[in-house]
Structure formats: structure tokens, C-alpha cells
């Protein structure tokens, strides 16, 4: 054996040359390992300028000259690094940690702690740490080591009362606030108490078991409250459970949600797995909103109720069925027969719209792209050199309004005049025979009493509602009116007119007219589908002429052209179906291509034609002219208007 069994110090062998080398090697090992104290055990590479004799415990994953030497003792001796393998039970002092460690079970660990001590890689080898103060070695049962005697000295055995007397007691917030022991709650058993912010105990006021539960002011101004869950700074009141109840205390109960400003939100949010799916309330303004969402990110407005009028709008579905508009051609979109000069009580060319005038003709025309949301308006121009009053009138068919008897109705429209003036409007009932109305309903244009026998005719009329509005020149204004319809109504007439006589070239524009059931119109105008609107117009008027062409115009555009008859054909009877079923059997007028009424083209214009039969679905054209011809042509206009 060449080395000692514990420190592996080399023996000097018999007859060994240079015995001093072996001796010095052993001396250097002893110099390193005896009274082992290392500078650090945290380095993974040698320090840049180690002191001669400096010792280290090599940390894991070492590099450089220390590579592969983890957990070994490295000593810098005679300008080179020497490494020593630790053995079980070796003890070392770590200078930069001020800690004694032991090598146990293949790792360095803090020395001491026994079975309950702390340790990085072991439990201290099962050794107990040395007791620095002999007074700590023995303790009486049920005591705590401390000191109550004056001055410094050895630890003493303290009772629980002596120990707690040394600790702070919970103190109220403020300059003297303290965290510490809970104050003594007193010696009264079975009393429910709570600890107040000021550090004192309080008994909650007793309730009566039903009504008054007392004023628990001690619970005021809490930062947040969680019931069966945790509240936070956002959800300051949090509750988790199958149900919650807000009960009355003898009468009603009102839940309030208040917001700071109109642009803030006061709402109830419904969630699935904490992702929003529906919301009701004042969301971003003071109207009441109903919103839904498929994912909590994209929201759709279902209903919005205007805060000033109570009107409900349906942004994604249009008007509610109760808001069905009874007006035909409400946007003045269609003028099948063309517009132009119109006499008092005559249709203007705008389907179902008449003009009433005080004395002379007015001129009807169409405006487009007026303002945003108002693409079309109908215009009346006062064409007479003498000032006069004028207005728009639409009679509504009884079949479409009789359901409004004994109900509240609303009229709304957009209006504009070229001068600042007062506009008047009325909802008038026709109580005579249904659909046989007197269209010129004005008795005295200058009367300021808007009742039958005064401004209006006295026979078969009842004024359900009337109103006035001051218009600013060239400014579009919304007009609203509501009233109650009587049980004797057979037709309704909507009338809009100038309150005073207007000079030549003054204009009156109207558009987006709504009339229907309810105390108010929808919050936003919902235009009818164009094809449906046109079909409604054709219920009262159909023509073979192109849209906007007045009957009697000389043209072959449109019309009915019949060819390939034998040259000897002397008589013709031709059935023409209507594209829409009309209100009733219409009055049908025939025109030849030159525009002559009661005539057709039969080889030439001017041949007599007539209508032997007409129903709401079709009519027959007949010609008994004996002129032989192989081609017949005619235009027609079918009138079933009120």
C-alpha cells in the first residue's frame, strides 16, 4: 500500500530516491485538508487571480481547468491547481456563506438540522448542529426561548403570556397602524362578533328575523366582498351559488345601476364561461340597448329604445311588424304616369299622391340624393303668379286601414320648404262609403280652425289629429303626429300643406312618409322593398307606357303590338292580363301610337278601339274598324285609384 487509507497521503517507500518530493506532496495535502475552509462553493471556473493556498469547492458543470471536477476540493498550490476527492463525513467552512457544511451521501449539505433541519442535498448527515449557547440546550415544556430580563444575557424560558406580551397587537390604519396579534375578544361565550378596522371587536345589530335587519354601519365602505368566491378590484362584489335573491322589506324592491356620464356604461352582461353573450342596459349612451354576441368580441344590436321618445328600432331586422307602414309610395320613388303640372284635386303622377291647391295648378317633380338617409323626395312648386296655398294628399284604401279603428296611430315624414314658413299636417278620417272619398277635402283654405265645416269639408270627415311646425328655409325637418282613430273610420287621408299662401316658385318637398299603428313612428325609417313598393302602386294604376311616360304621349315604346294577322282580318278582340291584381275593375283608356285617346293603330293610327270588358285581373281590347291589316298596336292606362 502506497497511500494512507483516509487522506490518501503518499508513503515514503524504502530505498526511495528524492524522498523530499513525496514528503512535500503529503505536506501540501495536509495543508489543504486539515481545518478545511473554502472561499466559495459557487464558482464553476477558477478565479482569475487565486491566492496561493486558496481553496474552493468546485460547483456543478465546471469549466476550464476545473472541468470534470465538480464537488471536489480545488487548492491553488505552488502556482497550480490540485484536486482532492472528499470522503463521507468531511466537514468544511464556506467563508462567503458563513456556513458549515458536511459531505454526506455523495453531496455537500448544510451541517446540522438533524431529521427536521434544512438541507440542500441531504439532511446534514444525520448530525445535530452544535449548540452555540449552552442555555439553548435545555428547554422547559410549553415554553418559548426569549428574554424578559433587563439587559443582554442568556435566553430564558418564557411562558405564552410572556411571549405574546413582547409582540405587537393589531392596530388601526393611520400613522400608528400595526399588524400583529388579534385583540382579546372578551370572556362572553357564544357571542358573534367581528373585528373592526379600528382594532376593536363589535357585535352586529340584531335583526327581527324578517323585516328590519338593523343598520350594520360597521360593514360600510368595504374595499370588496366575496360570497363563496373571491372578489377583486374590478368585481368588488362577487357571489358564487345556484341563485341569488333580492327581497322586499314589506313593499317593493328596486335595483339600481348608476353610471357617471352618458358616454359610460350601466348594463347587465350575460356570459358563458366568462365570455359575453348578451347585454342589456345603457351601453355607451342613454338609450336602452339589447345586444347579443356569438363570441364575446363581435356584438349585434338587436333592439334600441330611444330615451326621449320611447321608440324602438331594430338595427338588424328592420321595423317591428306593428310598425307596418300603410303609405303607398312613401319615398315618392315611383311616378308611373310622369310628373308635371297638376290641377287641384288631381293625382300628381307620383303614384297615389294628389295635389290640393287654393286656386291654380302646381308643378310636381322628383328630387334625388337629397341628404343622407333621404334618397328621394317629392316636390310641389307653386307655379302661379298669385300666391296660394298648396299641399300633398294621399287617401288610403279601406282594406288596408280598417284594422286601425279604435287604435292610436302615428304619422311621420321629412319636409322642407324653400322659404321659412309654417307647415301644417293632419290625419283625417273618411266616414262615408268606403273607397268613394271626396279627394278635395278643403272647405276654406283661409280658416284657422282645422275642423270639419271650417277649414275642412263638413261631410263625412273627422279630424283625428292635426299639427304645425315652423320650417327653416332649405332645411330638412322631421315631423311627427299621433292621434286616435274612431270606430266609424272607413278610409284615412294624410294631408300636408302650407299654412299660408306662398309666392310663385316656392317649393314644398316631402319624403320618407310613415303612417301606422302606435303612439310614435319607428326611430328610423324602414323603406319598403322596391319591387313590393312598385307592386303596391300597380294595384291602383297600370300602363303600357314606359315608367315616367304620361299617357297620351306619342310613342311606340311599350304598348301592345299584335302582328301576323291575315290581311283580310276585319275584327279583333284581344285580352290583356294585368301584371298585378288591381284594387277593382279599372277604367281603361286606349291610345294609338300618336297619343290619341280611344284610338288604336290598325295599319294606321286613328282607328276606333274600345274596351268591352275589364276586371281587376285583365281587360279586353276590341276594334270593329273594317280596315284590313296584319298589325295592330295600342297603348293603355288602367286607373283603379280612389
Judged on CB neighbours under 10 Å (0-12, 13-18, 19+), 449 is exposed
Give residue-wise pLDDT tens across range 443-496.
999 999 999 999 999 999 999 999 999 999 999 999 999 999 999 999 999 999
Residue spans of the chain under pLDDT 70:
1, 8, 112-138, 190-191, 204-219, 316-322, 564-571, 626, 628
Q: In 390-473, which ranges are continuous DSSP H helix? A: none
What pLDDT shows up at residue 117? 38
Counting the structural domains of the chain, the total is 3
Check which CATH number belongs to the domain holding 560 and give it. 2.60.40
Residue 131 counted as domain residue: no
Residue 581 counted as domain residue: yes
Whether residues 353 and 428 fall in one domain: yes
Residue 335 counted as domain residue: yes
This prediction's pTM: 0.57
What pLDDT shows up at residue 208? 45
Q: Are strands 346-347 and 354-357 parallel, antiparallel or unpaired?
A: antiparallel
Q: Are 539 and 352 in contact (CB under 8 A)?
A: no
What pLDDT shows up at residue 611? 96
What pLDDT shows up at residue 413? 97
Whether residues 594 and 613 fall in one domain: yes
Rounded to whole angstroms, what are the CA distances from 284 to 234, 248, 280, 374?
19, 31, 11, 27
Whether residues 397 and 374 fall in one domain: yes
- Residue 89, beta-bridge partner list: none
Whether residues 495 and 584 fall in one domain: no
Whether residues 438 and 466 fall in one domain: yes
Q: What angle do CA 365, 371, 375 make, to 5 degrees?
A: 55
Alpha carbon of residue 194 to chain centroid: 43
Whether residues 424 and 440 fall in one domain: yes
Whether residues 479 and 612 fall in one domain: no
Whether residues 523 and 617 fall in one domain: no
Mark which of 126, 150, 165 sits at the end of a domain: 126
Check which CATH number belongs to the domain holding 440 and give it. 2.60.120.260
What pLDDT shows up at residue 322? 57
- From 121, 120, 124, select the one nearest 106 (Cα to Cα): 121
Mark which of 79, 99, 126 sits at the end of a domain: 126
Residue 576 counted as domain residue: yes
Residue 477 counted as domain residue: yes
What whole-number distance in Å separates Cα of residue 3 and Cα of residue 9?
5
Whether residues 567 and 624 fall in one domain: yes
Whether residues 407 and 554 fall in one domain: no
Residue 300 counted as domain residue: no
Whether residues 576 and 500 fall in one domain: no
* Helix (H), strand (E) at residue 29: helix 19-33
Read off φ and ψ for residue 134, nearest 5 degrees.
-60, -25
Read off φ and ψ for residue 29, nearest 5 degrees.
-65, -45
Residue 199 counted as domain residue: no
Give residue-wise pLDDT tens across range 61-76.
999 999 999 999 999 9
Whether residues 513 and 554 fall in one domain: no
What whole-number distance in Å separates Cα of residue 146 and Cα of residue 166?
9
Give residue-wise pLDDT tens across range 82-104.
898 899 988 999 999 888 999 98
Residue 480 counted as domain residue: yes
Query: Residue 82: which domain range?
Result: 19-126
Q: Are 496 and 392 in contact (CB under 8 A)?
A: yes
Mark which of 126, 142, 173 sits at the end of a domain: 126
What whole-number distance in Å separates Cα of residue 473 and Cα of residue 419?
4
Q: Is 474 left (phi over 0), alpha (psi -120 to 50) or beta?
A: left
Amino acid at each position: 500500500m502506497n497511500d494512507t487509507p483516509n487522506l490518501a497521503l503518499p508513503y515514503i517507500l524504502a530505498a526511495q530516491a528524492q524522498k523530499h518530493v513525496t514528503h512535500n506532496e503529503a505536506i501540501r495535502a495536509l495543508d489543504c485538508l486539515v481545518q478545511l475552509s473554502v472561499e466559495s462553493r459557487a464558482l464553476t471556473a477558477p478565479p482569475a487571480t487565486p491566492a496561493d493556498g486558496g481553496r474552493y469547492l468546485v460547483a456543478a458543470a465546471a469549466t476550464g481547468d476545473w472541468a470534470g471536477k465538480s464537488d471536489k476540493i480545488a487548492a491553488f498550490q505552488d502556482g497550480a491547481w490540485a484536486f482532492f476527492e472528499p470522503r463521507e463525513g468531511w466537514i468544511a467552512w464556506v467563508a462567503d456563506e458563513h456556513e458549515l457544511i458536511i459531505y454526506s451521501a455523495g453531496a455537500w449539505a448544510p451541517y446540522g438540522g438533524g431529521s427536521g433541519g434544512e438541507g440542500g442535498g441531504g439532511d446534514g448527515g444525520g448530525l445535530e448542529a452544535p449548540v452555540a449557547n449552552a442555555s439553548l440546550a435545555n428547554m422547559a415544556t410549553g415554553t418559548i426561548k426569549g428574554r424578559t430580563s433587563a439587559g443582554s444575557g442568556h435566553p430564558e424560558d418564557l411562558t405564552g403570556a410572556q411571549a405574546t406580551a413582547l409582540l405587537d397587537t393589531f392596530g388601526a390604519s393611520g400613522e400608528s397602524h400595526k399588524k400583529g396579534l388579534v385583540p382579546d375578544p372578551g370572556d362572553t361565550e357564544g357571542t358573534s362578533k367581528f373585528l373592526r378596522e379600528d382594532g376593536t371587536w363589535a357585535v352586529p345589530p340584531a335583526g327581527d328575523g324578517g323585516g328590519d335587519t338593523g343598520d350594520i354601519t360597521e360593514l360600510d365602505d368595504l374595499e370588496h366582498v366575496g360570497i363563496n368566491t373571491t372578489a377583486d378590484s374590478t368585481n368588488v362584489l362577487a357571489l358564487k351559488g345556484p341563485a341569488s335573491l333580492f327581497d322586499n322589506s314589506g313593499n317593493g324592491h328596486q335595483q339600481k345601476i348608476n353610471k357617471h356620464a352618458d358616454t359610460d356604461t350601466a348594463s347587465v352582461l350575460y356570459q358563458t364561461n366568462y365570455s359575453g353573450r348578451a347585454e342589456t342596459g345603457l351601453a355607451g349612451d342613454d338609450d336602452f340597448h339589447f345586444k347579443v354576441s356569438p363570441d364575446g368580441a363581435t356584438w349585434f344590436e338587436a333592439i334600441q329604445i330611444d330615451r326621449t321618445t320611447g321608440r324602438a328600432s331594430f338595427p338588424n331586422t328592420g321595423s317591428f311588424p306593428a310598425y307596418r307602414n300603410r303609405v303607398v309610395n312613401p319615398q315618392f320613388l315611383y311616378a308611373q304616369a310622369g310628373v308635371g303640372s297638376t290641377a287641384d284635386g288631381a293625382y300628381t303622377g307620383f303614384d297615389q299622391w294628389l295635389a290640393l291647391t287654393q286656386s291654380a295648378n302646381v308643378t310636381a317633380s322628383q328630387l334625388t340624393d337629397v341628404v343622407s338617409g333621404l334618397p328621394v323626395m317629392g316636390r310641389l312648386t307653386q307655379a302661379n303668379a298669385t300666391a296660394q296655398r298648396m299641399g300633398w294628399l294621399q287617401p288610403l284604401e279601406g282594406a288596408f286601414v280598417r284594422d286601425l279603428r279604435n287604435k292610436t296611430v302615428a304619422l311621420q315624414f321629412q319636409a322642407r320648404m324653400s322659404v321659412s314658413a309654417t307647415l301644417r299636417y293632419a290625419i283625417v278620417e273618411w266616414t262615408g262609403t268606403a273607397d268613394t272619398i271626396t279627394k278635395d277635402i278643403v272647405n276654406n283654405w283661409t280658416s284657422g280652425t282645422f275642423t270639419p265645416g271650417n277649414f275642412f269639408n263638413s261631410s263625412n270627415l273627422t279630424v283625428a289629429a292635426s299639427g304645425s311646425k315652423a320650417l327653416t328655409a332649405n332645411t330638412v325637418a322631421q315631423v311627427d303626429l299621433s292621434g286616435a282613430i274612431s270606430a266609424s273610420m272607413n278610409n284615412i287621408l294624410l294631408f300636408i300643406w302650407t299654412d299660408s299662401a306662398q309666392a310663385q316658385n316656392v317649393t314644398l318637398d316631402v319624403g320618407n312618409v310613415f303612417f301606422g299603428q302606435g303612439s310614435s313612428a319607428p326611430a328610423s325609417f324602414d323603406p319598403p322593398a322596391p319591387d313590393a313598393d312598385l307592386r303596391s302602386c300597380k294595384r291602383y294604376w297600370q300602363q303600357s307606357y314606359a315608367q315616367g311616360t304620361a299617357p297620351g304621349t306619342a310613342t311606340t315604346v311599350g304598348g301592345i303590338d299584335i302582328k301576323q294577322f291575315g290581311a283580310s282580318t276585319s275584327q279583333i278582340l284581344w285580352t290583356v292580363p294585368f301584371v298585378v291584381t288591381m284594387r277593382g275593375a279599372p277604367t281603361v283608356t286606349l291610345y294609338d301610337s300618336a297619343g290619341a285617346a280611344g284610338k288604336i293603330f290598325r295599319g294606321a293610327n286613328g282607328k276606333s278601339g274600345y274596351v268591352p270588358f275589364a276586371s281587376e285581373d285583365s281587360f279586353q281590347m276590341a276594334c270593329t274598324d273594317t280596315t284590313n291589316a296584319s298589325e295592330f298596336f295600342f297603348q293603355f292606362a288602367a286607373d283603379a285609384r280612389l
